[in-house]
Structure formats: C-alpha cells, structure tokens
Amino acid sequence: MPKNTGNMTDHELLEELVLQGRRAERMSRIKICLVVVLLLLVAILALVYIPKIMAPIRQLNESMNEIRGAMEKAQTILNEFDGETIDKFKQTMESLSETSQQTRALMQKLKDSGLDTFASNIESLNEALDGLLKYFRR
C-alpha cells in the first residue's frame, strides 16, 4: 500500500527509504541466488549429458574419417584409369559376355545331342561289366 510521502516527516521518509533499500537488496540477493542455482543446474546437466552426447559424436567422426579414407582410395584408383584402360576393360567384358553366350549355346547343343543319355548308357555298361568281372573272379 503506497504511503503518502507528502505528510511524512524527514525521519519517517528516511525510515521508508531504508526499508525500500533493504527490500531491494533482499530481492537482489534472491535473484543472485536463483541465477547461481540455475547455473549450477545447467553445469550439472552438462556434466551428465555431454559425455553421453560425445560418444555418438566421436563415433560419427570416426565413421566420417573412414569414409573419407575410402573415398580417397577410390579417387586414387579412379585417377589411375585412363581412357585406354577403360576401353580394354570394356572389350574384356564384351568378350566375356560373348564367350558366355557361346558356352550356353554349346551346352544346349550337347544337351540336345543326347550326351546325357550317352553318359547314363556308359554308366549302365560299367555296372554290367562290374557284374561280369565279379562273376569271373569268384
């Protein structure tokens, strides 16, 4: 409740000013204490959570270094390839593809020619000959 300062004596005014000064000082101390408590809380939380955060950051940094190393190796390999090497690789791959197609055609021809039945006939003949050998060895 505001007091009427116009009707106060000098002594009452001085008492009121001292009282206001004490209130202001008390509020200032309370604010400083709150700030200190908040700073302590922030420091404690930082001490607790920073190590937990740093582990994934370190792991990410190590992964990035590994990726960077792999990229540098790949770049040096790619730098060694020139147009002639690429053309030779392309020719080799085309030749390999052609050979693969020819091999497939040959295998199909062998299959169509009855080679598999010929192999089974040879196996049957071999079994028959084994039987005759056993008969004569007794």
Rounded to 10 deg, the angle between the 83-112 and 115-137 helix axes is 60
Please tell me the pTM assigned to this model.
0.39
Q: Please report which confidence band the pLDDT of residue 1 belongs to, taking 50, 70 and 90 as the band edges.
A: very low
Tokens found for residue 85? 């090497």
| Nearest alpha-carbon partner for 85 in 74, 77, 75 | 77
Summarize pLDDT for 74-132 with one digit per residue, the tens. Answer: 888 878 777 777 788 788 888 888 888 888 887 777 667 666 676 677 787 778 777 77
pLDDT above 90 for 20:
yes
Do residues 13 and 5 touch, judged by C-beta distance below 8 A? yes
Q: Which of 21-25, 26-30, 68-72, 130-134 has the lowest mean pLDDT?
A: 130-134
Three-state DSSP class for residue 96: helix
Rounded CA separation 33/39 (Å): 10
